[in-house]
A = this chain, B = another copy of it.
Amino acid sequence: MNSIGKLFCVTSFGESHGPCVGAVVDGCPAGLALTLDDIQQEVDRRKPGAGAAATARRERDKVEVLSGLREGRTTGAPITLLVRNEDIDDSDYEKIAARLRPGHADYTALVKYGGFADGRGGGRFSGRITASFVMAGAVARKILDTLGVAIAAHTVEIGGIAARAATFDDIKTKATRDPLRCADALASRKMGELIAGVREAGDSVGGVIEGIAVGVPAGLGEPVFANLDGDLAKALLAIPAVKGVEFGAGFAAARMKGSENNDPITIKNGKIITTTNNAGGILGGISSGMPVVVRVAVKPTASIAAEQATVDVKKMEKAAIRVEGRHDACIVPRAVPVVEAMMAVVLCDFALRAGLVPRVMK
C-alpha cells in the first residue's frame, strides 16, 4: 500500500515516467496558512543542484494543487499535490528492459507485478517518487511550525568521508547552502572530489544522512507498537536506497558500556533534560523532549556505467549489463530534504495522535 500515518495520512501516487508524481495529504486541520510557495520551496530543495553530485535530468517540478487549499488556507479536506513528469527520455530504458539491473528492484518488481509494472525510469521504485514525500512533508512542517518543532538533516558521510559534528544551527545555515548538504565545508570539498572521481570511473558512492528534530514535545509515541522510533524507521526505509536506520548513538551504543551510554539526567531552567543524547531523544518509544536524532545509511547509486553480471529474463540466460543514461553518482545530497520530509510526516502524525494539534487552526 502507499499510505502512511494514522491521523495525518499521506498517500503517495505516480510513477517516474507516468504523467506525474503526487500525494494526498489527509488529516491536516482546517485553517492552516499554506501556500503553493511553501511547498514549492521544499520541492526545489530536492532538485538536482549545481553541485558535483547532480544528475543531468532537468526537473522543473512546478507544484500543482488539486484539492484541500483555498485562499492560502487548508480547508480540512484532503490536500492533493503533484508535480508533472517532464523531460522524459525512455530510449535507454527500452534497450535494457530484459536485463535485470543489479542493485535495482527489477527482479522483485517482475515477481510482484509480472512485467506489468511501468518500469520506465524506475517507475514506482524511482527516487523520483520522493517528490511526493517532500510535498507531504512541506504540509507537515507547516503544522509542526505551530508547535515549535524544527527539523533539519545533513550529510554526515559520503563514500567513507565523515563530516565533523555540527550544531543544529550549523546545519540550518551551512548545510542548507552546501551543494552536498554538508555543514563541514572541508569534508564537503573532499566528498565532492571523491564523487567526481567515482563518476569518472562509471561508479557510485553512498553515505549517511543525519536528521534532527528540535522542539519535539516530550510524550509523543508509546512503548511496544506505537513506538515513535518504529514509525520513523519505517518511513525512512521507504526512501529508495536507505538500508539502515539508527537513533542517537545507534550501532555505536552496542559498543559502549551502560555507564557510558546512559544519558545523565539533570535540571536546566526548571526542565528535566539529559546532558548527553545517546538515546536520540526517544526512550521506550516515546519522545523525551531532547532532540530526536536519526541517521540513515544510503547505499551507493545502483545505476553504474561499469559492466556487471546479470540475467536476461526473456532468454533466461546470463548476460552483462551497463546502465547508461543520466544518473547521480551519489544521491545522498538529494535525499537530505527527503529525510526531513519523512521525519516531519511522522512527527506530525504523532503530534495529532497525542491531541497536540488543534483541529482547526486560527
Interfacial residues, chain A to chain B (CB-CB below 8 A): 1-4, 6-7, 9, 11-15, 18-20, 22, 24, 26-27, 30-31, 65-68, 70, 73-78, 80, 82, 100, 102-105, 107-109, 111-118, 123-125, 129, 157, 159-160, 198, 203-208, 218-219, 222-227, 229-231, 233-235, 237-238, 240, 243-251, 253-267, 270, 272, 274-275, 278-280, 282-289, 297-304, 306, 308-311, 313, 316-318, 352-361
Contact = CB atoms under 8 A, between A and B. Distances in A.
A105 B104 CA distance: 40
Nearest to A255: B160
B76 A116 contact: yes
B66 A222 contact: no
A302 B258 contact: yes
Contacts of A353: 7
A18 B80 CA distance: 11
Question: For the complex formed by this chain, how many copies does it contain in all?
Answer: 4
Given A22-B80, A257-B300, 8 more contacts: A4-B225, A22-B66, A198-B257, A230-B237, A234-B234, A244-B245, A259-B306, A272-B311
10 contacts: A3-B9, A3-B225, A15-B67, A76-B124, A103-B262, A112-B219, A205-B258, A244-B244, A249-B299, A265-B311
